[in-house]
Chains A and B, each alone.
Chain A
Amino acid sequence: MLGIGILKGLGETGRNFIGSYFDPKRMVTVQYPEKRLPLKENSRQFPFLVFDGDEASIGLRCVACQICEKECPPQCIYIEKSKDKKPDHVGKPQYYPAVFDIDTSVCMSCQICVEVCPFDAIKMDNQYELSTTDRFGGLLLNRDRLAKPNGYFQKLHPTDAAEIDLRREEERVKAVAKAKADAEAKAAAAKPKAATATGGSTVPQAPTASA
Chain B
Amino acid sequence: MAPSIDQLFVNLLHWVVGFLPEMVRPWASLVISLGAILGVFALLFGLTTVCERKAIARMQNRLGPNRVGPFGFLQFVADGIKSLTKEDVVPRTADRVVHFLAPLALLVPVVLTYLVLPIGRNMVVLDLDCGLLFFFAAGASTELAVFMAGWASRNKYSLLGAMRAIAQMVSYELPFILSTIGVVMVAGTLSTVRIVEAQAVVEGDWLARWNVFTPWGLVAFVLFVIASFAEANRSPFDLPEGESEIVAGYFIEYSGFKFALFFMAEYLGMFSSSAMAVTLFLGGWTAPVAGLGWVPSWMWFFAKLLTLMALFIWVRGTTPRLRMDQLMDFAWKFMLPMALILLPVVVIWHRLGGGWMGWLVCAPPLALAWVLLGKALVGRRQIRPRTYRYAEG
Contact = CB atoms under 8 A, between A and B. Distances in A.
Contact of B62 (A1, A13, A21, A27): A27
A183 interface: no
Given A6-B318, A14-B314, A29 B58 contact: no
A6 B319 contact: yes
Contacts of B137: none
A17 B62 contact: no
Interface centre among A9, A13, A28, A31 (most CB of B within 10 A): A13
Given A16-B60, A17-B59, A29-B63, A2 B314 contact: no
A28 B58 CA distance: 10
Given A1-B374, A2-B373, A3-B374, A13 B61 contact: no
Contact of A13 (B318, B370, B377): B318
B378 A27 contact: no
B63 A31 contact: yes
Contacts of A2: 334, 370-371, 373-375, 377-378
A17 B373 contact: no
A10 B314 contact: yes
Interface in B220-255: none
A13 B106 CA distance: 32
Interface residues of B, number: 21
A29 B57 CA distance: 11
Interface centre among B59, B62, B319 (most CB of A within 10 A): B59
A11 to B, nearest CB: 9
B55 interface: yes
Interface in A1-60: 1-3, 6, 9-10, 12-14, 16-17, 19-21, 26-29, 31
Nearest to B330: A2
Interface string B137-150: 00000000000000
A13 B334 contact: no
A1 B379 CA distance: 9
Contact of A1 (B60, B66, B334, B371): B371
Closest 9 A/B residue pairs (Cβ):
A2-B374, A13-B59, A9-B318, A13-B318, A20-B58, A26-B61, A17-B58, A17-B59, A13-B317
Given A16-B60, A27-B62, 12 more contacts: A1-B370, A1-B374, A2-B370, A2-B378, A6-B319, A9-B318, A13-B317, A13-B318, A17-B58, A21-B58, A27-B63, A28-B61
